[in-house]
Structure 1
Amino acid sequence: MEALKTMDLNALLEKNRAFTSLGKVANYIPELDKANPNAFGVCIMDLEGNEYCAGECNEKFTIQSISKIVTLMLALLDNGKEYVFSKVGMEPSGDPFNSIRKLETSSRKKPYNPMINAGAIAVSSMIKGDDGRDKFNRLLDFFRKIMEDDSIDVNYKIYIGESETGNRNRSMGYFLKSEGIIKGEVEEALDVYFKQCSIEVTAKNIAKLGLFLARNGVTSTGEQVVPYKIIRIIKTLMFTCGMYDKSGEFAVKVGLPSKSGVGGGIVSVVPGKLGIGIYAPALDEKGNSVAGTKFLEDFAEMFDFRVL
């Protein structure tokens, strides 16, 4: 796009780098606290194949909750919309991503949406396969296909930390099993979930994911990997639930389907135009990248790419 060619991406990034000092890196999972809080990278990709990158766009980090949108795509392909949403809702929860409060107090019992941990664990349990290893290998191959990078893999140090400290997630998993939301082995579902969160990516990788969504499920080779009806569901849930319990404020200020992760990543989509990948691991109190969010506010204002 011509407007992007004239943009000084480095200047926009450096303007917002100061906001990294207002956040803190996640420390509740071992190894995440080793991230450089001043790191900041941005990559923007358009449908014509152009890439615009600045800062630490090649630095690796774990995808964390951004993985939820990819796993949901595969679960919908494996099971269909009716089954998936019979087990998981579609509404914003208004609670932190790791909250368990509404699982028992709500009359619905099922998780509010697939973007919170309880919903994501339920979705991970729906991936088809002969056993846990086969299920995760299918999922990893799916990540590699839509991000067009066969080198993508798990950071096993993070995975071990996720598994060893994941007691709250385990409690959610067993509650969901008791309510009939999870079929099969709970530990198998949790292992898939812990591994998917521990997949290592760069800002370029998640920009490619954003571009895949902007193309409505089509890769750069022209292959329709995911049908539009599923991509529409994914982008809608990103818009309403993708930024934890700050999703409404983000929708007003930025207005783009986006998903964050506590590893510091944000993927954003300008439908039919751009995929955006951001890495800045200093987080706000909700778990979103501070500098990344501020960058997207400026970017949306400059180009008026807002969906609404």
Structure 2
Amino acid sequence: MNSLFIEEKELDALMKSIQPYAKKGSMPEYIPELNKMDPDLFGCAICNEDSMTAAGDADYLFTLQSVSKVISLALSLMDQGEEVVFSKVGMEPTGDPFHTIHALEEEKPSKPLNPMINAGAIAVTSLIAGKSGEEKIGRLLTFIHELTGNPAISICEKTARSEKENADLNRALSYFMKSHQVIDGDMESLLDVYIKQCSIQMNCKDLARIGSIIGKKGRDPNSGRNIIPPRIARIVKTFMVTCGMYNASGEFAIRAGVPAKSGVSGAMLGALPDGTGIGIISPPLDKKGNSAAGLKLLETLSQKYKWSIFT
């Protein structure tokens, strides 16, 4: 793996050549607030221990959406331990879309196949320590502030409201799991936490910092301490490889070989074992829910700089 420094002009030129791939994607219509995003947005930041390279709209604030699943998984594992977490959610990839419900019906017991699909992420969020929804989301935000070094990161209330008004499928997933004793408690409160989790907003530089720490076994390059225990960072990276790009994860692993997670805002997170973190935003999505231009950019960067963890 080559962790060479990439200059801004080099990254900018590469992004300009890839920008047309955004035209192959479409904006998500089922969350009105996301549908309002500028389809021409394109930002990227690449972070390692001693440098940050950013180009395009790298300072633009966007919501994490499913990228947040990586962070909530790390926190719930730190709070509850592997035995508890994996008694509620499985470890297997799925060839189904991220919002699938029929997989829950087929599994006995009816626990989600992995933490990266919506049902699994909701189950994981329920395990974040806290006596109330406010305490859970507060702890998640504090954890993100620690990972990024940016205490200004907050929830986009506008997006959260938009998602709550269109949350019938996630609500159905929650109540289905409750009826099968996978999760318990007040589902509306849990759904509120999950929606707010997805609506946390940051920029590409913040996201790249998170990727750098996850990649480097959870170690903060500034303080030298492990914000995330090494084993948990490894578990998270493994899920990013096997499940992070929804039902395109296998193809992406072959083409790019980068532990990554995408979100329906067009966000993408990459985390390499040498501590290189990548944050990308480009809203138009391909048919499997991944950023069309973002996916191509990460694939191209990996091939150009030999980033694949499988080489």
The equivalent residue for 2:172 is 171
Preserved CA contact (<8 Å) 2:215 2:237: no
CA distance in 2, matches of 1:14, 1:121: 37
How far off its partner does 1:146 sit? 0.9
CA distance in 2, matches of 1:93, 1:154: 30
The equivalent residue for 1:208 is 209
Preserved CA contact (<8 Å) 1:129 1:135: yes
Preserved CA contact (<8 Å) 1:282 1:290: yes
The letter for the 2-side match of 1:211 is: S
CA distance in 1, matches of 2:306, 2:165: 44
Preserved CA contact (<8 Å) 2:116 2:246: yes
How far off its partner does 1:248 sit? 0.5
CA distance in 2, matches of 1:40, 1:130: 39
| RMSD of Structure 2 on Structure 1 (CA) | 1.3
The equivalent residue for 1:230 is 232
The equivalent residue for 2:294 is 292
The letter for the 1-side match of 2:247 is: D
The equivalent residue for 2:46 is 44
Query: Which has the higher mean CA deviation after the structures are superposed, 97-106 or 111-120?
Result: 97-106
Question: 1:305 and 2:307 equivalent?
Answer: yes
How far off its partner does 1:180 sit? 1.0
- Change in Cα spacing, 1:156 to 1:6, as seen in structure 2 (3 Å) is closer
The equivalent residue for 2:265 is 263
CA distance in 1, matches of 2:280, 2:205: 8
How far off its partner does 1:2 sit? 4.2
Query: Which has the higher mean CA deviation after the structures are superposed, 176-185 or 55-64?
Result: 176-185
Gapped regions of structure 2 (runs ≥ 5): none
Preserved CA contact (<8 Å) 2:89 2:113: yes
CA distance in 1, matches of 2:106, 2:294: 34
How far off its partner does 1:201 sit? 1.1
The letter for the 2-side match of 1:69 is: V
CA distance in 2, matches of 1:243, 1:300: 15
Question: 1:25 and 2:27 equivalent?
Answer: yes
For residues 127-142 of structure 1, the aligned pairs below 5 Å read 127-142=128-143
Preserved CA contact (<8 Å) 2:12 2:56: yes
1:12 is matched with which residue: 6, 11, 14? Answer: 14
How big is each residue's C-alpha offset from its partner over 1:70-118, in whole Å with a ceiling of 9 and x where there is no partner?
0011100111001100110010111000110111122341100000000
How far off its partner does 1:182 sit? 0.6
Gapped regions of structure 1 (runs ≥ 5): none
How far off its partner does 1:243 sit? 0.4
TM-score normalised over the length of structure 1 = 0.97
- Change in Cα spacing, 1:7 to 1:91, as seen in structure 2 (3 Å) is farther
How far off its partner does 1:205 sit? 1.2
- Change in Cα spacing, 1:157 to 1:80, as seen in structure 2 (3 Å) is same
How big is each residue's C-alpha offset from its partner over 1:137-195, in whole Å with a ceiling of 9 and x where there is no partner?
11111111112110000000110111111010000001111111113221221111000
TM-score normalised over the length of structure 2 = 0.96
How far off its partner does 1:233 sit? 0.3
Preserved CA contact (<8 Å) 2:215 2:233: no
The equivalent residue for 2:70 is 69
How far off its partner does 1:281 sit? 0.5
The letter for the 1-side match of 2:228 is: V
How big is each residue's C-alpha offset from its partner over 1:3-59, in whole Å with a ceiling of 9 and x where there is no partner?
5249711111101001111111212112111111111111001122x1111100011
Identity %: 44
Preserved CA contact (<8 Å) 1:111 1:119: yes
- Change in Cα spacing, 1:183 to 1:18, as seen in structure 2 (3 Å) is same
Preserved CA contact (<8 Å) 2:214 2:228: no
CA distance in 1, matches of 2:87, 2:107: 16
The equivalent residue for 2:36 is 34
Secondary structure of the equivalent of 1:233? helix
The equivalent residue for 2:82 is 81
Secondary structure of the equivalent of 1:129? coil
- Change in Cα spacing, 1:223 to 1:3, as seen in structure 2 (3 Å) is closer
Preserved CA contact (<8 Å) 1:47 1:215: no
How big is each residue's C-alpha offset from its partner over 1:121-145, in whole Å with a ceiling of 9 and x where there is no partner?
0011111112111111111111111
Question: 1:158 and 2:159 equivalent?
Answer: yes
Secondary structure of the equivalent of 1:20? helix
How many residues are aligned here?
307
The letter for the 2-side match of 1:186 is: M
The letter for the 1-side match of 2:219 is: V
1:275 is matched with which residue: 257, 274, 277? Answer: 277
The letter for the 2-side match of 1:185 is: D
